[in-house]
Amino acid sequence: MLNSAQTQAVEHHHGPLLVLAVAGSGKTRILTHRIARLLEYGIPPHAILALTFTNKAAYEMRERIGQLLRSREDQKSLAAMTISTFHAFGMQVLRTECNREGKPFTIFDQGDVLSTLKDLLRNTKLSLDPSLIAARISLAKNAFLSPSELPDSGVDVYEETTKLLFPRYQTALRNFGAYDFDDLVCETVRMWQHRPDLLAFWQERFRFILVDEYQDTNRSQFKMLHLLAQHHQNLCAVGDDDQSIYGWRGANINNILDFETHFPRTLVVKLEQNYRSSPAIIAVANAIIAQRKDTRHHKILFTQRLEGEPVQCIVAPSPEAEARFIAEEIQRFRDKGEKPAQIAVLYRSNNQSRQVEETLRELSIPYRILGGQKFFERKEVKDLLAYMKLALAPSDEISLRRVINYPTRGLGEANLEKLSLFALIKGWSLMQAVSRAAAIPTLSSSARQGCEDFLTIIRETQEQLHLNSHPPSHILRNLANRIELKKDLFLHCAPQVAARRWKHVENLFHIFEKREQALSSSAPSARQPPMNLLAFVHALTLDFPDEEEDHADKVTLSTLHASKGLEFNVVFLIGCEEGLLPHSRVVDTPSSCPTIPNIEEERRLFYVGVTRARSHLFISRAKQRMLRNRAIPKMPSRFLQDLPSSFVITREIDTHDPSHPIHHHIHASELLDLLNQL
């Protein structure tokens, strides 16, 4: 059953709609029920566009809609809808228009971006970190700034170098016939701005638009949505400005704050009932966010839950004592039957996890860390996908350079340079030069044979794809066997490492198989043509997906940013000290600096951490931390002074007996009595 506010959001038909959904209020349920209701209203499924920030969120939304749509006819409707990330949608638009004009393109992943910037940096003779240049270029694109629009800093060497390299980087992209991740949104917007006819086509195609996590949109994404929704005005944005925590990577909180200005006659619906957390946790969350000093949409969380325990504020003498308390408390919860997967330790920065990890290992408590290496950034996965991309698009020079000498076939950097130079002289593509290696006198006979062996693999794969006698997952397996990928892994890695890396490859096969199952269950008219396999391969990596899902029963260790969207029965929010939360970069830097999140974003981050907890919340800090072999006193986070004393127990723990409370603000039994009266 939907509550009254949820029903109002679901039933709204035409016109702009802003749904302000507090943490734990069931916003995904609103989106899925609203889409189902639009279908009941007779809206054609192909006219509905739902945008998310991750492939995982898009997949879950599609799954939930499928559960609501029972009939076979409804399932056909689901297949006809577009539910994707912003970047996958941008790629769809660009690929449609580029295919019409016969201009195929490839997509740079993060490795390609860094490799290109390294080459450009060599010419400057500056020893700078290319990843910091890449981050600045990404921020500029998220803010919809062209190279010529970057401001002069005059003092920051990274800012000045970015201004120098940004146009050269864009030229390199054009030379490769490529877009990077951010271009998929930016270039879609620019195309629509310069081609009103194309904009009109896409406006008519998608008459109803729904957006999840609207508070996280950047300027480029806002421009995309504003243009697309301009004609029909049927934009439903769901979000919460109190959970806007990505300003450091370009998200613009003003997009949600100024929604009613951007889209006049907006209906605003507030979802304030929290279905997740206990009364004490709700009280703490409300108290924290009520102290925001910036503009916000006023909301007050409430819950109908009656039971609950007080929030505990733990004061430890040191990080070691803090970690020991957490580990032993986790062990107590396990002894009482709590599953480790329902327990999380959250922190502001990655380097805070080390002490907790060590203590958990000492007690043999299994854990996982969110934010590890991305699945599609793993070498074995990227190599196999590069072969598949080449079979589908031989002009993809980035993929060609990646795997022409993998496995080793005598085509290292020196011979690749000879191929590139000959291609440049003749006006050929690099693939054309490889195809005509026999005519290149500077190549050795072994290098020519290497080119022939490489081409044989590509041609065999192309033939299998053309015959269409086997599904792509089968062809991918054949490709892995053809390049002896498994053998190579076990030859060059320790057995355990090789087995783990081969498991990644098997997971890739499974991803292709899932796509094939989805297509086979769709109506024939909704099935994608074979050429869209290339779009699928590109789309796999578009949102820099989370590392492989670890479904084992383990405690979660995560940064506060990575924990967004998750929930746990038990949460430990650690390191709540000045300089950690809020972070020293914020405390020591003027809030006017556009690349540094200000204090209020840190407050929202604290709020997000608090609202991850269902039943048990521990907020901890250490009195001192070591810095350059010196014990430095640490001040409690300024956010702790906003905690409501009637819902919080403060416990100062001893080094030798961390479970012993030295001081209570209020007795636990008294607090439970108070909570039960609510």
Q: For 393-440, where are the alpha helices, taking DSSP H only?
A: 397-403, 413-426, 430-435
Chain-centroid distance of CA 86 in Å reads 11
Q: Which two tokens mark 192?
A: 């629509």
Tokens 């970069």: give the residue.
Answer: 585
216 flagged as catalytic? no
Q: Which two tokens mark 66?
A: 């499928």
28 flagged as catalytic? yes
CB atoms within 10 A of CB 674: 15
Catalytic residue among 27, 378, 625, 638: 27
541 flagged as catalytic? no
**668 and 652 in contact (C-beta within 8 Å)?**
no
The rounded distance, in Å, linking the Cα atoms of 662 and 592 is 42
Cα–Cα distance list, 91 to 48, 400, 488, 537, 668 (Å): 17, 21, 34, 12, 55
Catalytic residue among 324, 409, 612, 638: 612
Cα–Cα distance list, 260 to 111, 206, 212 (Å): 40, 21, 17
Within 13 Å, how many C-alpha atoms sit on residue 108's CB side? 25
3-state secondary structure of 548: coil
Helix axes 379-392, 485-492, angle to 10 degrees: 150
From the annotation, which residues make up the binding site? 21-28
553: CB partners within 8 A, 6+ apart: 339, 340, 341, 366
Catalytic residue among 112, 182, 183, 212: 212
Residue 421 — φ and ψ, nearest 5°?
-65, -45
343: CB partners within 8 A, 6+ apart: 330, 333, 555, 556, 568, 569, 570, 571, 572
Catalytic residue among 7, 8, 28, 54: 28
Q: Which two tokens mark 659?
A: 């479970």
336 flagged as catalytic? no
Catalytic residue among 213, 322, 543, 577: 213
Chain-centroid distance of CA 523 in Å reads 31
Reference 313, options 647, 555, 609; nearest CA is 647
**167 and 385 in contact (C-beta within 8 Å)?**
no
**431 and 106 in contact (C-beta within 8 Å)?**
no
Paired with 312 in beta bridges are 618, 649
DSSP string of 52-112, one letter each residue: ESSHHHHHHHHHHHHHH--SHHHHHHHHHSEEEEHHHHHHHHHHHHHHHTT---EE--HHH
242 flagged as catalytic? no
Cα–Cα distance list, 214 to 14, 183, 222, 348, 483 (Å): 19, 20, 9, 23, 44
**184 and 91 in contact (C-beta within 8 Å)?**
yes
Given the DSSP bridges, would you call strands 555-559 and 343-347 parallel, antiparallel or unpaired?
parallel
From the annotation, which residues make up the binding site for ATP? 21-28
Catalytic residue among 82, 116, 161, 243: 243
**114 and 377 in contact (C-beta within 8 Å)?**
no
Q: Indicate the DSSP class of residue 27.
A: H
| Residue 466 CB-density burial (10 A; 0-12 exposed, 13-18 middle, 19+ buried) | exposed
612 flagged as catalytic? yes
Catalytic residues: 27-28, 212-213, 243, 612
